Structure 1
Amino acid sequence: MLLRSFCLALPLVIVTPHAGAAPPADFQRDVEPIFAEHCAQCHGVDVAERKSGLRLDVRESALKGGESGTPAVVPGRPEQSELVRRISSTDADEVMPPPDHNKPLSAKEIETLKQWVLDGAKYESHWAFTPPQQAPLPQVGVTHPIDAFVLSRLNERGLTLAPAATPAALCRRLYLDLIGLPPSREQWKWRDWVVEALNADMPYDRFLVEQLAGDLLPDATQQQIIATGFLRNSMINEEGAIVPEQFRMVEMFDRLDCLGKAVLGLTTQCAQCHSHKFDPLTQEEYYGMFAFLNTSYEAQSWVYTPEQERQIAGIHRGIHEAEERLRAERPQWQPELAAWEKSLLEKEPAWERLIATELGSISGLNHPTQDADQSLLMIGHPSADVFLIAAPALDGVTGLRLEALTHRDLPHNGPGRSRLGT
């Protein structure tokens, strides 16, 4: 029997483990943008638009599920997660987002969500509320940390640094970028306050309190009043033809926008009209914060040099010493002063307070009221108006006197209705 040898050539395939498992999906970087683009309209923060009672951007809601009671997300179990089943479905009646939404998920986005669920469906709070973690410094041969991060990213993209600007050009750019105009150091006291606070390592909570309400602190110092210049970094319109109240409100909205971005790390403007679609801010919360700022009026605060402050302190000491001498010389000065005032009033003609029977205004924007002491209160903010006051016949009257009074509801307690109380 003849035995023949055969040489069989077969393609050899060697299967090895993947060089590395798929990197875990990051919620803020990879998942949240998908939810925002494709899911938030029906399953986001807006209660009025939410479908099936399901909210995907909040972990508790996603794990609990909507009205059906089926968990949308089961961490580590994509095969048990309703979210994965619906985004993977080919049934037009079940697939999410629905076809009429016109925002279908790409294959890559579907895989990202599956991987995220498989990795444990980890949620992260809004970045503005997450304590910052120190990132490792890129080793790119420069000493300043900011330069290191900038140069590292440029290297990743194959870019090089632009030539260094001249000191004059750099100074001009910084002024125009940061404050719009280049005032002198003497004109920009708030900037000096910020620099001094940082150099003094002022605690952050104090840093915020003094800038937001330094003038309301007990016995506020000049420096604490200067700190409130932060709130003046908003738009101000003082043209002659403006409607003051309209632009005061514009200033308030801009001021809250500045506060949100600089302090809270949130964009707040969306919440002027509706609860924010992306940032964790409801319309009610927005106007709750707005109410704090809306009780304020524009102020003109005088800033004195150290020499002027010493002179002012000397004047106050002189006044105090003079008062003490007068008290020592005339212990009964208060009743004597009251008696003197009374004697002057007795020589005055008799004045009677006018009791109005009807009140009104031509514009209709103001609704005067008469208080128990017969004073008339006008609170509205028309630029100009004519007030109508009806009273009984004024027999035997030889003159009229108009007194402008202060009131707690007027800007700076009045007596005027302008933003300065004048």
Structure 2
Amino acid sequence: MYRSILTLLIATIVWYGQSCTMHSSNQAEEEALPDKISYNFDIRPILSDKCLACHGPDANKRKAGLRLDDPESAFKILKEHPGAHALVAGKPELSEVFLRISSQDTSALMPPVNSGLKLNAREIKLIEKWIKQGATYEKHWAFVAPKKPELPEIDNEDWPRNEIDYFILAKQEQKGLSPNEEADKERLLRRLSLDLTGLPPSLELMEQFMADKSDNAYEKAVDQLLKNPAYGEKMAVHWLDLARYADSHGYQDDGYRTQWPWRDWVIHAYNTNMHYNDFVTWQLAGDFLKSPNGWSGPGTASKEQMLATGFNRNHKITEEGGVIPEEYRIGYVTDRTDLFGKGLLGVTMECAHCHDHKYDPFSQKEYYRLFAFFNNVKEIGIESVIGGPDTYAKKPLMEICDEDVKNILSFVNKRDTNKLIVSVMTDLDTTRKTFLLKRGAYDAPGDEVQPGTPSSILPFNESYPKNRLGLTKWMFDPKNPLTARVYVNQLWQQFFGKGIVKTAGDFGMQGELPTHPELLDWLAVDFREHGWDIKRLVKQMVTSATYRQSAVITPEKLQTDPDNKYLARGPRYRVDAEFVRDLVLSSSGLLNRQIGGPSVKPYQPPGLWEGATSGRGLLSMYVQDHGPKLYRRGMYTLIKRTVPPPSMAIFDASNRDLCEVRRLKTNTPLQALIMLNDPTVLEASRVLAAKLLEEKTGIDDKISKAFQLIVSRKPKEKEVSVLSAYYDKELKGLDKSRAEKALAVGEYPIPKKVDKVQLAALMRIVSTIYNLEETITKS
């Protein structure tokens, strides 16, 4: 019987999957063809999916000597069929590409029947129309400087709140979709607060917002949250991923490092709304800038400008004896080059480290020309082995004294008089020669190369200095097609869950196409035209009608747009690892809101570090912190690269080995176990329960307040009723011994006069609320 039921269930699932696929395929085939066919957006995706495996850039797998992604090859006479051409502009009937993809003869059909690939009717019509229109190839869209398009025409002109909405609605109307209504005020404020501060809204802010009936109530809340110092902390987390910030050097010994003052600077830069061009220039080339303060350090840069360059010293550094210094020094330069490509340009430059890029127009020589900008740093492959304070930072370095913190670096949270050192960037007095490395091997130098940039993106302006400062000028040249697009896309990803280009670190040929290319270009140009103002861009996004939609999904929308590519509903996804912790600490009242300072070591299962260590250095054993340090925000948790914080790793946090611009979002049972058993969650449940018991209110009111603090909305009567019944059950089932055992978690003191049985019972109610899916979901 069970086997029959299982067979029926499998058959149903297979049928449903096939019917959905057929519906999706039919819908795609029925969609009208564009008036003007674009190679980039209409044709290349078809070729990439169905043709380029045999007729693409990989010479080893290429068939018939034909390369369809290269117009020179595609228009030539075919080797195996003299007199025939793969493409004849304007004449599909003479173009072998069209004849073969539309053939009824299976021996001639392309792709071959045994490949399992097949073009649908719409794809064939697109290629036919493209050939009729001249079979025009285009430079890859991401390597063409963006131009600001006109706002598209839309039917529902009452919906948009700003320019973003015109582009979103135009695409929805094209796809037969319509936007959701605006989210209710409670959920909207929670979404906004989590996005701008990483924290749930306070009760005071909730009451203020709910009571404000003015037309600009929401905009006032946006402005208030943008001024909150927690904004800088929230925004910094993505940048720490990109910059591969950690509190250890990495590799086997994985010793301690003191790079956290750079993290304090990033928070400060976001809070003071440092514009993106300066923000990046200081980090890439602050040591080349002229200081208004006239600090007498390397060059004439100020100490703050020098501190910003710590950005490019966050990479892993070895402290192990017996290594080949030049091999590791080359590795450090490679890391900086690859970060520049992925994090700031959104391209996979690292693929050209050993050979010419297979898919993008980057030669190996161009890779090493870019490499040359980062090859002149005054560093060596191994400076010192793991040990005392002198190894916490590697040369070139900068010392920060109490006088600096008092007068220049007031944002650095230095609480003691100990010497503080940070690794920074300083170049050699003479230029180190750079060579192309054969197969990428450090000991196989080829031709010497000079600093330069990939010409397919933008040739390097020879009037710029050939150093990192010149590289930043190239980055922010109005003709650079990538800089603005890439950062706009990364910001969009933070607020909407996915970037307009989903592959945020790959805008190249193998990356995904933008869902809204005109919007991406409009935002990129607008961002540049307004001085690279980050807060202005953030406000644009979160005040749009697109952002303010309800996240409710109908069966029709789920079927038409399951991934919400066209944004006909609000974003809904789990908050990042650091903010799971922040939400728990903040709602319970435990959160230590101090900004910056050294990283801390909260509760962690015993033995993790000791089981994965060389046994040397300050981080060979885990010594947990105590007191207020236990309740710092998640971004301040110490990250040891070889053993990253386990609770955060389970929620997909980066271990900061390499530049990361997009975190994965997984959903595993381990995440549920963290919420049920993590000492921080249980302690927060106990502390909040104790505070509620001190209030002279009934149990329903206590439960309602806990729910509102944690979920940021007033609970429904049924929710209160269920939780209240659970409380009564726990109260009857607990005795003092079991209650004391349940309460024995965390270091925060238990009030002396509290009824421990009541406390344990209410603690379980609060823990239940923390374990609701809604609690850690932004919706």
| Interval containing the TM-score (normalised by the shorter chain) | 0.5 to 0.7
- Of 75, 88, 92, which residue of structure 1 is paired with 2:89? 75
Seen in structure 2, the aligned counterparts of structure 1 residues 142 and 209 have a Cα distance that, compared at 3 Å, is same
Equivalence for 2:341: 260
Equivalence for 2:115: 101
Equivalence for 1:289: 370
Larger Rg: 1
Q: Give me the TM-score of the superposition, normalised by structure 2.
A: 0.31
Equivalence for 1:169: 198
Seen in structure 2, the aligned counterparts of structure 1 residues 158 and 54 have a Cα distance that, compared at 3 Å, is same
Do the aligned partners of 1:39 and 1:97 also contact (CA within 8 Å) in 2?
A: yes
Amino acid at match of 2:236: Y
- Of 113, 116, 141, which residue of structure 2 is paired with 1:127? 141
Q: Distance in 2 between matches of 1:38 and 1:200?
A: 40
Do the aligned partners of 2:90 and 2:131 also contact (CA within 8 Å) in 1?
A: yes
Q: Distance in 2 between matches of 1:303 and 1:136?
A: 51
Equivalence for 2:398: 302
Do the aligned partners of 2:338 and 2:349 also contact (CA within 8 Å) in 1?
A: yes
Amino acid at match of 1:276: H
Equivalence for 2:71: 59
- Of 21, 35, 39, which residue of structure 2 is paired with 1:23? 35
Q: Distance in 1 between matches of 2:399 and 2:167?
A: 40
Q: What runs of 5+ residues in structure 1 fail to find an aligned partner?
A: 1-19, 313-365, 367-422
**Offset, 1:212:** 4.2
CA shift digits 1:97-131 (9 cap, x unpaired):
23343323233222221111112222221222111
Greater CA deviation, 137-146 or 257-266? Answer: 137-146
Greater CA deviation, 208-217 or 31-40? Answer: 208-217
Amino acid at match of 1:189: W
Q: Distance in 2 between matches of 1:62 and 1:215?
A: 49
Percent identity between matched residues is 34
Equivalence for 2:525: none
SS for the counterpart of 1:302 is strand
Seen in structure 2, the aligned counterparts of structure 1 residues 187 and 42 have a Cα distance that, compared at 3 Å, is closer
Q: What runs of 5+ residues in structure 2 fail to find an aligned partner?
A: 1-31, 200-230, 247-258, 291-298, 380-393, 409-442, 444-779
Equivalence for 1:221: 301
Q: Give me the TM-score of the superposition, normalised by structure 1.
A: 0.52
Amino acid at match of 1:174: M
**Offset, 1:226:** 4.6
Equivalence for 2:265: 189
CA shift digits 1:342-361 (9 cap, x unpaired):
xxxxxxxxxxxxxxxxxxxx
**Offset, 1:248:** 5.8
Seen in structure 2, the aligned counterparts of structure 1 residues 179 and 277 have a Cα distance that, compared at 3 Å, is same
Q: How many residues align?
A: 290
CA shift digits 1:66-85 (9 cap, x unpaired):
43474322222111222212
Higher relative contact order (CA 8 A, sep 6+): 2
Q: Distance in 2 between matches of 1:30 and 1:24?
A: 10
Query: Superposition RMSD on alpha carbons, in Å?
Result: 4.8
Where does 1:8-407 land on structure 2 (aligned, <5 Å)? 23-67=35-79, 68=82, 70-137=84-151, 141=159, 143-146=161-164, 156=177, 158-159=179-180, 163-165=188-190, 166=193, 168-169=197-198, 171=231, 173-180=234-241, 187-189=263-265, 199=275, 211-213=283-285, 215=287, 219=299, 221-222=301-302, 225-226=306-307, 228-232=309-313, 235-236=315-316, 251-272=332-353, 275-290=356-371, 292-294=373-375, 296=377, 297=379, 299-302=395-398
**Offset, 1:132:** 0.4
